[in-house]
Copies of this chain bind each other. A is one copy, B any other.
Amino acid sequence: MVTCYIGIGSNLGDRENNIKKALTLLHGCLNTEVEKASAFYETQPQGCPGNAGRFLNAAAKIKTAFSPRELLRQLQSIEKQLGRIRPGKRNSSRSIDLDILFYNNQKISLPSLKIPHPRLRQRAFVLKPLKEIAPETIRSLAKETKIISTLSGMRGFIAKEKAQNMTIGFVPTMGFLHEGHLSLIRQAKKDCDTCVVSIFVNPIQFGPQEDYKKYPRDLEQDSILAKSAGASCVFYPNAKDMYPPDYLTYVNVEKITDYLCGASRPGHFKGVATVVTKLFNIIQPHIAYFGQKDYQQALVIRKMVEDLNMPITIKTMPIVRECDGLAMSSRNAYLTTQERADAVVLYQSLQKAREMVRQGQHDARIIKTAIKTAILKKKTAKIEYISVADARTLEDREVFRQKTLIALAVWIGRTRLIDNIIIEV
């Protein structure tokens, strides 16, 4: 009998029951017993049609006397019993999905069977339940990633890369990586020889009443995801090294930080500009990558780089959305099931606004009212701001013309979410 780990998912029918049945059938097999199963985690479908249901995911530790091929056949037979239609379309909905993640410590690479599972390291929805039942396995996967946690270590790494004329791409993050971050990392890896990802929850960009302490963190999972997306290393400094007790220096971009999130989060962008300056000086990248979701942040960083003559190119990458349209955000992890369902209203109201403008409605007041009405239909929603603004200066616009930004900040329950679109008239 050898130890194996199995990944389990379902987004069709009675998902919980499907997973339970699969585990029961597996445990009932001759030659196989389920030793431990993780809790069931609800996750968004990935890369699937917009109407796909959410997944329940789990992982199980089993003992088996089957060979890897026999075990695969066994899993496929269980999938069939539980109504899985094969061959289905890629990423289509399925009543049950069973994957061999690990088979003992074997490495198998056949056309029909690759073990360990080749996409394991890219899938947070597998890593999370697996961590629950096999924390050491996750730890050893995470150890494959070079993590640098001292400033001098990071400087040393960069010096070596630069001595070899490597171009450096840099993705600054606060961790709890999602597909939005990973799209930046993949782009950096495409553009540059070396891709550095920083993970640092920056205390000075949080207000005293904000979620600095509870901001979600998972370094092991982030390390695995970052490397699988192309990161050469993860820079993970600690707050005491970044801000020693006698710290005194701040970078501030004026005016464009007075609007939108800047208005409700005083000091936020000063914190962002300062930490990004520090990270730029430590990592000295050729190109740095930011997400369009934080539109104002990307604008502030671009302005700062231009004004301070920083020798860095800034690339802003498109918003990555869940299948239903919700912009990916680490803070989405805070949402309850009901809130998650309501949260899609940010995206939907922006789409509706785009359609109204397309049909000739250029009055910002009317567009804002339409967005407000749509959002307030959700009981969990509270609007912080709806802004129609010049996409460059962020000054309010009364009429849509040229490049106009619509930006939202909406509280869904106790979670603050933002989203935006640019409309060209």
Contact B254 A304 (CB under 8 A): no
Contacts of A311 in B (CB 8 A): 155, 281-282, 284
Residue from A251, A273, A274 whose CB has the most chain B CB atoms within 10 Å: A251
Q: How far is the CA of A413 from the CA of B151 in the complex (A)?
A: 50
- Say whether A308 contacts B278, CB under 8 Å: yes
How many positions in chain A have a CB within 8 Å of any CB in the partner chain? 26
Question: Does A253 lie at the interface of the complex (its beta carbon under 8 Å from any beta carbon of B)?
Answer: yes
A8-16, A36-44, A242-250, A346-354 - the one binding chain B: A242-250
B252 touches A250 (CB 8 A): yes
Contact partners of A309 in chain B: CB under 8 A: 151, 278, 281-282
Q: Is A303 an interface residue (CB 8 A)?
A: yes
The answer, yes or no, to whether A255 is at the interface (CB within 8 Å) is yes
Q: Smallest Cβ distance from A112 to chain B, in angstroms?
A: 51
A249 adjacent to B307 (CB under 8 Å): yes
Nearest-CB distance from A150 to chain B (Å)? 12
Interface residues of A in 286-345 (CB under 8 A from B): 303-304, 307-311
- Bound-complex Cα distance A151 to B309 (A): 9
Q: CB of A277 within 8 A of chain B?
A: yes
Closest B residue to A279 using CB positions: B309
Nearest-CB distance from A313 to chain B (Å)? 13
Q: State the CA gap A387–B255 with chains docked (Å).
A: 36
**CB of A256 closer than 8 Å to a CB of B:** yes
Contact with B along A222-252 (1 / 0, CB 8 A): 0000000000000000000000000111111
Contact A249 B250 (CB under 8 A): no
A95 to B378, CA, bound (A): 95
CB neighbours of A251 from chain B (8 A): 249-252, 308
Q: Which residues of B contact A304 (CB under 8 A)?
A: 249
Asked whether, in the complex, the Cβ of A308 is within 8 Å of the Cβ of B249, the reply is yes
Chain B residues, CB < 8 A from A247? 307
Q: What's the nearest-Cβ distance from chain B to residue A152, in Å? A: 11
Whether the Cβ atoms of B303 and A249 lie closer than 8 Å is: yes
Q: Separation in Å of the A67 CB from the closest CB of chain B?
A: 55
Complex interface: chain B residues within 8 A of A310 (CB)? 281
- Which of A155, A251, A309 has the most CB atoms of chain B within a 10 A radius of its CB? A309
Ordered by A's residue number, 13 sampled pairs between the chains whose C-beta atoms are within 8 Å are: A248-B254, A248-B255, A248-B303, A249-B252, A249-B253, A249-B303, A249-B308, A250-B252, A251-B252, A281-B308, A281-B309, A282-B309, A284-B311
Task: List residues of chain A with CB under 8 Å of any chain B CB.
Answer: 151, 155, 247-256, 273-274, 277-278, 281-282, 284, 303-304, 307-311
| Known pairs A248-B256, A249-B273 / 16 extra A-B pairs, C-beta < 8 Å | A155-B311, A248-B253, A248-B307, A249-B254, A249-B303, A249-B307, A249-B308, A250-B251, A250-B254, A251-B308, A252-B252, A277-B308, A278-B308, A281-B309, A282-B311, A284-B311
10 smallest beta-carbon distances between A and B, as pairs? A249-B307, A281-B309, A248-B254, A249-B253, A282-B309, A278-B309, A281-B310, A249-B304, A248-B253, A251-B251
